[in-house]
Chains A and B, each alone.
Chain A
């Protein structure tokens, strides 16, 4: 994708005398930088439609009074920098320049490191839109683009979506430069690569593909790059667009690429031999490939001692099981296999269900849907009135529904436990998959009891074994089996034993040498 393709297209249209440009009037400018300063300034203004935030400051240089101008857009530039290191130094300079004025100014006057030259209006306007300052000198066909990107941005905060008790407190922000810096600060390896791509035909957002050369399997990098090249879209508001564009199967309920706001997560995954994708304008970075085994891991697992971390992981597997199966199992047991429940409990369940007019499946469906609505509303509600949800959920749905005889108290317990279990799944996108599949289990249990549950379970497994993430089987390291990787799967072995990189990533580094055939 070439930069400035729209400008070229617009220019082409203009030259062809077809004034029906899709983006308003764009007549009266040429793409060339001329020797006449006024023409140049006019061109830039015309091209951008003379917006209010475009600052054009004209000035004279040296004793001879050569005319010059600086152009930038206020708000996305660091104006202090412009005033002190460009304007001030130029104005204070009284020396005369001989042969090549622009070169001399570049070398001796402007006190900013990042300066580029350009003689093409596309590049200049792209630079200005990126927060650079363009320096025009009368009589010159070359323009200096001075790096003055700045402006307001969010400072580094603790990520809301993934909080830890113990671990680094910094999270990604919207600026890609800051995010790259955060990763660089973690990994001071010259082999750390940030391969730059550009996405968004109109938005021209930066996207970097990071990996550690010498660890990552080059085939993985090639595959991800190939898919990134294929992105063809005007604007991406979040890395989710990238994720959905390059994922292997859009029919799957499971996320095939992990998203995270944590630099430490990215860094540790890069060191493991994965690749990360950081997109400008969003704090969510992507990590690929993702396997089903990773979906219940958190960074905290490595920050706690192995024994407690292992127990926590087991607990998380248990809650994942509850999140998926509990309502389904309840329906299956109550409607099809009441014999399995201990008899005293059967009586009390029967007693509580006495006044309930619906079969267990309908009851479960009602409660599950109600919960999903509460959950969704809770996210959208402003924080100030967020407590309302607690009252509505706890009191109205719980108490009142039971006393009104719509649902049984046991069902409320089941729903509540399921809900809590769902929240203990660390990744939100995985949790959504579980919430969706839960309804599958409820329906299956309603029709076929335990048999239905196992049938749906088998189907999900069939789906998982056929799913891939960047060409890597999603079900690994369970199957295809890499027993070495099991040390950090359901269990979390002591850190001193985790000296090898995951074998399923087929990394280049000898540290994870694998001697299995095939």
Chain B
């Protein structure tokens, strides 16, 4: 039915460029200033954000470059070629599990935060169930549709967050930023690790680049997209520290939302804007969740090509819902988040290194198509 080439399931470099920050900006953006402020002195955390970000950009570039060497091939197909079929299947399933975990974590976190900021009487299951259903609706649609959603939502998210930073300028106290460079090496190292964990989901590139028709320039675009996220994180971190100071930032559960709470719209039209900002960040979290879930589905589908996509979705969603219900307190949710972060980074890093080494040994196979 689709007569125009851009209307089909293929995507462009630019879609990847937008997908990367959409994936990276998630729950992490709301909580990371706290972790970072715990580890570093005054405003020094920005060094850690940049270092962690650089690491993320590098990995993004490496993963994209690797995947782009096998244009229009699925992860399973090129990793089978590089590291033999059984290993590739295990890797794919591990990635799928990461997708499931990430979806569950975002679900748990979003219900927790909405419970705190939006409504405290509505049962938490209701909140996460509706969110999950919408994610399922998005994933059951076309995959290209997900990328279009990123494109629709990312500008809204960036503009709103920029607006928030702009509105906070009046509350900035210079002294909070000083003194500079007083953190010890250990602090920087830990901070870097923590902030790197916030850049979730580079692993999606292993899968999504197979949808790009001409992936030659994709690696650069993906790295560029990741750098947006790094810049955004740096600005947010500096703003939080400048407004609250290091001590309070370290003790606030969701620093970014508190920031939204403290600003005022000129004219007094609306007050306590944190709900509005949070609601808009729900879109960012939604994008991450939908893509994480979609990658999980895509990975499983590549291992079991005969099973229908919808059946996979309907099988996975109860599992996701169940996992998201396990952590009870927000501390446990945070733990789950750390877990998911470590797992994702470990998975992506290891896979990237192993595949790159094998790629250097074996060389590229002629494109399968």
Give the interface of A toward B (CB within 8 A).
217, 219-220, 222-223, 248, 336-337, 339-343, 448-455, 458-459, 461-462, 465-466, 468, 470-473, 475-476, 478-481, 504, 506, 516-518
Contact A450 B118 (CB under 8 A): yes
Contact B12 A516 (CB under 8 A): yes
- Interface segment among B60-68, B99-107, B250-258, B279-287: the answer is B279-287
Pick the contact of A450: B1, B147, B153, B275 (CB < 8 A).
B275
- Does B4 interact with chain A (Cβ within 8 Å)? yes
Contact B7 A465 (CB under 8 A): no
Determine how close the nearest CB of chain A comes to the CB of B167; give it in whole angstroms: 15
A454 to B151, CA, bound (A): 17
List 13 A–B pairs whose Cβ atoms lie within 8 Å, in order of A's numbering. Answer: A220-B3, A336-B119, A451-B114, A462-B141, A465-B145, A465-B149, A468-B7, A471-B1, A472-B3, A473-B6, A478-B152, A479-B147, A518-B5
User: Contact flags (1/0) for B105-142 with A, using CB distance below 8 Å?
Assistant: 00000000010001100100011001100100110011
- Does B309 interact with chain A (Cβ within 8 Å)? no
Determine how close the nearest CB of chain A comes to the CB of B5; give it in whole angstroms: 7
Residue of B nearest to A227 (CB): B1
Contact B282 A473 (CB under 8 A): no
Residues of A within 8 A of B286 (CB): 458
Residues of B within 8 A of A455 (CB): 130-131, 134, 282
Give the interface of B toward A (CB within 8 A).
1-7, 10-15, 114, 118-119, 122, 126-127, 130-131, 134, 137-138, 141-142, 144-153, 213-214, 268-273, 275-276, 279-280, 282-283, 286
Residue of A nearest to B274 (CB): A340
Residue from A220, A223, A504, A517 with most neighbouring chain B CB atoms (10 Å): A517
Contact B118 A451 (CB under 8 A): yes
Contact B141 A466 (CB under 8 A): yes
A343 to B271, CA, bound (A): 9
Contact B12 A518 (CB under 8 A): yes
Residues of B within 8 A of A475 (CB): 148, 152
A343 to B268, CA, bound (A): 10
Determine how close the nearest CB of chain B comes to the CB of A486; give it in whole angstroms: 11
A223-B3, A472-B7, A518-B12 known; A462 and B137 CB under 8 Å? Answer: yes
A336-B119, A470-B3 known; A465 and B148 CB under 8 Å? Answer: yes
Pick the contact of A448: B130, B271, B272, B275 (CB < 8 A).
B130
Determine how close the nearest CB of chain A comes to the CB of B149; give it in whole angstroms: 5
Contact B148 A473 (CB under 8 A): yes
Residues of B within 8 A of A471 (CB): 1-4, 7
Q: Known pairs A451-B114, A465-B146. 10 more at Cβ < 8 A?
A: A222-B3, A448-B122, A454-B280, A458-B286, A459-B134, A471-B3, A472-B3, A475-B152, A480-B15, A518-B10
Residues of A within 8 A of B130 (CB): 448, 452, 455
A223-B3, A337-B275, A518-B12 known; A449 and B119 CB under 8 Å? Answer: yes
Contact A465 B141 (CB under 8 A): yes
Contact A451 B282 (CB under 8 A): yes
Contact B141 A340 (CB under 8 A): no
A517 to B221, CA, bound (A): 13
Contact B279 A453 (CB under 8 A): yes
Residue of B nearest to A219 (CB): B3
Contact B283 A454 (CB under 8 A): yes
Residue from A219, A337, A506 with most neighbouring chain B CB atoms (10 Å): A337
Contact B4 A472 (CB under 8 A): yes
Contact A480 B148 (CB under 8 A): yes
Residue of B nearest to A221 (CB): B3
A336 to B119, CA, bound (A): 7
A445 to B152, CA, bound (A): 22
Residue of B nearest to A471 (CB): B3
Residues of B within 8 A of A478 (CB): 148, 151-152
Determine how close the nearest CB of chain B comes to the CB of A360; give it in whole angstroms: 15
A248 to B2, CA, bound (A): 10
A504 to B147, CA, bound (A): 17
Pick the contact of B279: A454, A461, A472, A504 (CB < 8 A).
A454
Contact A458 B279 (CB under 8 A): no
Determine how close the nearest CB of chain A comes to the CB of B66; give it in whole angstroms: 20
Residues of A within 8 A of B153 (CB): 461
Residue from B148, B150, B286 with most neighbouring chain A CB atoms (10 Å): B148
Residues of B within 8 A of A506 (CB): 4-6
Residue of A nearest to B217 (CB): A517
Pick the contact of B283: A223, A450, A458 (CB < 8 A).
A458
Residue of B nearest to A518 (CB): B12
A455-B131, A480-B148 known; A518 and B7 CB under 8 Å? Answer: no
Residues of A within 8 A of B119 (CB): 336, 448-449, 451
A480 to B6, CA, bound (A): 8
